[in-house]
Structure 1
Amino acid sequence: MDKNKKFIWEMFQNTGSIDGSLSENIAKSWIHSREAGVNPNKICLEKNMVRDGQLKNSLHKNKKIIQIVKPVMKELCEQFEEYKLTVTLLDTDLCVLVVQKSHDELLCNTLKISNRPGFCYSEEKIGTTAISMCAKTGKVETISGYEHYCREYHDVFCVAVPIYDENNNICSILGGTGILKNKVSNLDTILAISSKMITNNIKMQNVERELDTKSNLYGIIFDTISDGMLTVNMEGIITSVNPAGMQILGIDKSCIGKHITESVDFEPTILEVIKNRKGYIDREFRLEGKNGMIHFVKTAIPMKDERGNMIGCLDVFRSITQVKSMVNKLTGAQAKYTISNIIGKCNSIQNTKKMIKIAGRNDSTVLIQGESGTGKEIIAQAIHNHGIRKNGPFIAINCSAIPRDLIESELFGYEKGSFTGALKGGRPGKFEMAHGGTLFFDEIGDMPLDMQSKLLRVLQQKSLVRIGGFKEMAIDVRIIAATNKNLDEMIKEKSFREDLYYRINVINIVSPPLREREGDIDLLIDYMLRRHNLINGTHKVISDKAREILDKWEWPGNVRELENAVEYAYCMAEDKEILPEHLPNRIFNAMTKGQNNKSFNMPLYNNGVITIKQAEIIAIKHALNHVNGNMTKASKMLGIGRTTLYEKIHKIGLIEYSNE
């Protein structure tokens, strides 16, 4: 789910406020849906079904259109069978006339309810959909997930295209719907082509219907679509190609009328489709062309006449760069946080913000060090958004969360057949997906030693080879790493490579622990509480006593723990004011029991026991205070080396002693 769009939808439903990032057309549709009284939480089947007599009349009125469109709908479902696609034909009143389904038993309840003859998709009944938007704009429309007005469509995507009659008036709507997780990347392109073909059939019902006649009429759509398109007949002769296709393949219009092998210097995959009469969807190809390697994703659709005989093939392709950009947007692989999202005014946070700006202006590798929960990924995203790569992808990989035997394939990708369970067409790795952007290695201290050496080689050579492959690919990626471990100690223990450490630690940024951020806790509490109030339309406030307890807590879990505590207290407070008893039990009880232990100034756990980390902080503070900050005497008193004491002071953020 896109968390940002979910927040925008919930904010509108709760407050009626429209986020500025929402498109103008969708915003207007949401407002109109609300004014029409559409229930955003429940679709009522009975209220949205037209009368039997009305459906019967519409079926009779659109009989000719249905005869033309039905074979196209069937072909679309067959070609997109693995994506569980449902195709619908609707009249101008947005009443469903015909439904074609790939897998009826696998459809979600929402699609089973709404994709049936007689169901009405008008905006006044079920709110914003691609179908209702298409009827308004007369253009191809795509609505996904939380862009829908009704909650029941939030797991669904929908693409709709208009079909025109001989007078260039919209006579029906063709829609394709499916589960959001199975979303087809180029369905809008395929449906647009289908719409043109259907419209042409309507206009030319009594005229020649061969492919070459239709292909000549596709010029307008060919010239405006960003995907590359090329058609060939059964002899492999090119019958049409659009400008995007010519640019990707490095050819010109003179290729039309020639065999495809005369225009490209690699074995055309489309000839295999002509031979075996089977198309494919979103298959990756990397072929050596005139201008180097051509890397793209292709869809091949066999074209048939009205009798079902194959008469040629449509080849739709786009550059891998376009595909990766689209995938990154759909999967949320973009940095959403900036410096403005880092809340705090203390000296350590101001210094962190300064370092973020410095790192953003450069393209060097960055190492972010700090305890868990201090917001290291937010810092990484802010660096990305402050630099020249801000329009590129931001890919994050947690080195501690990926199984050891999968981390190499996750990073470098693999070719088809590389190992048992590999995807048919292979899979790009995180480095490829991050090309032109930033790759963030979270918890890099947990990366296995053997992978550290492979990562170092890729960083040095700026190229990689997929698992099971042999072609070397250049990569352009900015590296940011983060860890909560002491890499210096790990190097001494031979559990982290020293050469990799120096490779990633060009710019070093420390993410300070919350207990050392004087004055920032109140700012963070207010910020978090405002956010919960905005989302839920409430006006809760925190009492002085509750705030005092939160101020005194040492926050071993840092900002993440504070966020959890504020959300818990918000939920527990049934009235407007958040009181001490609404705080998490571990904090409320520990602070109450800790009144007799004020000299430690630390929260207690489990019957008065403190953590080892807290005991170490207490010991260091007391030793330094006892010897008036003398590092040599303090290290002897603690039984550790002077260098080790410096490292520990730096790690826990004792600024007053770190610059002795």
Structure 2
Amino acid sequence: MGEQVEQSSMMLEDREQLLEMYNSIFDIIYNWIVVVDRQGIIRMINSRYCHFLGVEQQEAVGKHVTEIIENTRMHIVAQNGRREIGDIQQIKGNKMIADRIPIYQKGQLIGAVGTVIFKDVVELDAYVKRVGHMEKELDFYKKELKKALGTDNTFDNIIGTSQALQRAMNLAKRVASTKSNVLLLGESGTGKGLFASAIHNASPRSEYPLIKVNCAAIPSELLESELFGYEGGAFTGAKKGGKPGKFELAHKSSIFLDEIGDLPLNMQAKLLKVLQEKEIERVGGVKSQKVDIRIIAATNRNLEEMVKEKTFREDLYYRLNVINIRIPSLRERKEDIPMLADYLIRKTAKEMDRFVTEISPAAMRCLVEYQWPGNIRELENVIERAFNLVDKEAGITLKQLPTYLVAEQETEAVYAETSLKEAVEAVERKTISRCLNETMGNKYQTARLLGISRTSLYEKMEKYGIEVSK
């Protein structure tokens, strides 16, 4: 019997402490709060509200709400049971924003609670402006993060009007807004990474940064921990607190798996599990976690042939190949080369702070005629190289282009419709390069074949940017 009395006493003491804590919270909370019963009599009101009204709590409690708060509707809500949210109420000359909510107990209406959220409309305006400012800051930092990660590209950054490119772009735009996985096919340097960024930034996931992984660049023994992350102490050298993997970082976003054809078979199986179960498990971890990701994969390899050769899983191939987009090589869209060259010249001029604005007709013809095995990446390198060789000229001419690129073209194609000076330089360049090849790079013999001194040969080689392979 004594134990029961002691337990009851402890329970009563706990309830009293809990009630005291509730009262303290009610009294110090920032918002002004009042509670009335069904008849509109004030049962509770916090000290902040009383201080504004100029009354004592003991004086307010027990009186009808209309006697204490002007323009109140608390007694009406306590009667009709209909909540009033965001109502503007004027008290002591101040326009305030109030909420009035009915209180039910066991299904019966027993009163109402009212809160003043904003003490005046000016406070609301300041709050809205503050939130708007925070949203702008957040948007700014999101954009800066995308720039830092190199993932801020859109379809506007894809240069070209050729039919082959437009077909690829139109399909990419159509599937960007879906959740389907995308497989980008194309040679190295065609712009698969640019397409991946554009697809992501045109999708509902664009709020989050695109996570990029080059499957060929990461050693196979590190690939699992890079993709899935690891727990602390999972292996020698692991960080104390562990590390999230790329899939974890891509939650609610997209992950770009470049060179997917280089993924080892054991990792292909793990990737398939992620696609099927939508969950991952860190290396050394004991529990799985759900991930919401969209995969954009890319390869320059023939995955169908790899499936036949059993070097790429057939089930994974079909999981990835929901939508496949073939990006044309540069030689398949040569009509885009002038536009691309112009874009790259302006871009490089800005990056290198050099005043180079144009390219000569002969040099442009040379770019168009070349086959570009390295695609856009090779074209970009050629433009950058030309910038480093431009002296006082404000434009790129034949002499700034690599020897191999110019020598591949027929002489007529190179200097047709050019100035006499450019035509002579093109012939000189090609003749010197041919002689150097014939003499296996021997400059003494080359000078003798050309009938010029070695000093003259060195000067012309430097002028035309001719280098001898070692």
TM (norm. structure 2) is 0.56
C-alpha deviations, 1:612-638, integer Å up to 9, x for none? xxxxxxxxxxxxxxxxxxxxxxxxxxx
Identity %: 47
In structure 2, stretches of 5+ residues that fail to align are: 1-27, 31-137, 415-432, 439-470
The 1:459–1:594 alpha-carbon spacing in structure 2 relative to 1, beyond 3 Å, is: farther
- How far 1:530 moved relative to its partner? 1.6
- How far 1:593 moved relative to its partner? 8.0
Pick one of 334, 339, 342 that aligns with 2:155: 339
Task: Report the Cα distance in structure 2 between the residues aligned to 1:506 and 1:428, rounded to whole angstroms.
Answer: 28
Task: Report the Cα distance in structure 2 between the residues aligned to 1:335 and 1:540, rounded to whole angstroms.
Answer: 27
- How far 1:533 moved relative to its partner? 2.9
Partner SS, residue 383 of structure 1: helix
Is it true that 1:542 corresponds to 2:359 in the alignment?
yes
What is the RMSD computed on CA atoms of the aligned residues? Answer: 3.2
- Match of residue 141 from structure 1: none
In structure 1, stretches of 5+ residues that fail to align are: 1-218, 223-321, 597-603, 609-660
- Match of residue 316 from structure 2: 500
- Match of residue 389 from structure 1: 205
Checking the alignment, whether the CA contact within 8 Å between 2:228 and 2:244 is kept in structure 1 is yes
Counterpart code for 1:429: G
- 1:497-646 equivalence runs, <5 A: 497-535=313-351, 536=353, 538-574=355-391, 575-591=393-409
Partner SS, residue 211 of structure 2: strand
Task: Report the Cα distance in structure 2 between the residues aligned to 1:420 and 1:534, rounded to whole angstroms.
Answer: 46
- 1:37-436 equivalence runs, <5 A: 329=145, 332-333=148-149, 335-436=151-252
C-alpha deviations, 1:10-52, integer Å up to 9, x for none? xxxxxxxxxxxxxxxxxxxxxxxxxxxxxxxxxxxxxxxxxxx
- Match of residue 476 from structure 1: 292
Task: Report the Cα distance in structure 1 between the residues aligned to 2:181 and 2:407, rounded to whole angstroms.
Answer: 44
- How far 1:392 moved relative to its partner? 1.2
C-alpha deviations, 1:38-73, integer Å up to 9, x for none? xxxxxxxxxxxxxxxxxxxxxxxxxxxxxxxxxxxx
Counterpart code for 2:394: K
The 1:607–1:452 alpha-carbon spacing in structure 2 relative to 1, beyond 3 Å, is: farther
Counterpart code for 2:377: R
Checking the alignment, whether the CA contact within 8 Å between 1:393 and 1:436 is kept in structure 2 is no
Counterpart code for 1:369: L
Counterpart code for 1:583: L
C-alpha deviations, 1:388-424, integer Å up to 9, x for none? 0011120000000000000000000000000001011
Partner SS, residue 406 of structure 1: helix
C-alpha deviations, 1:419-460, integer Å up to 9, x for none? 001011100000111111000000000000010001101110
The 1:334–1:474 alpha-carbon spacing in structure 2 relative to 1, beyond 3 Å, is: farther
C-alpha deviations, 1:80-102, integer Å up to 9, x for none? xxxxxxxxxxxxxxxxxxxxxxx
Checking the alignment, whether the CA contact within 8 Å between 1:438 and 1:478 is kept in structure 2 is yes
- Match of residue 461 from structure 1: 277
Task: Report the Cα distance in structure 1 between the residues aligned to 2:341 and 2:256, rounded to whole angstroms.
Answer: 28
Task: Report the Cα distance in structure 1 between the residues aligned to 2:265 and 2:238, rounded to whole angstroms.
Answer: 25
Task: Report the Cα distance in structure 2 between the residues aligned to 1:537 and 1:494, rounded to whole angstroms.
Answer: 51
Q: Point out the structure with max Rg over C-alpha.
A: 2
- How far 1:592 moved relative to its partner? 5.5
Partner SS, residue 479 of structure 1: strand
The 1:564–1:369 alpha-carbon spacing in structure 2 relative to 1, beyond 3 Å, is: same
Number of corresponding residues: 284
Checking the alignment, whether the CA contact within 8 Å between 2:356 and 2:387 is kept in structure 1 is no
Counterpart code for 1:565: V
The 1:430–1:336 alpha-carbon spacing in structure 2 relative to 1, beyond 3 Å, is: same
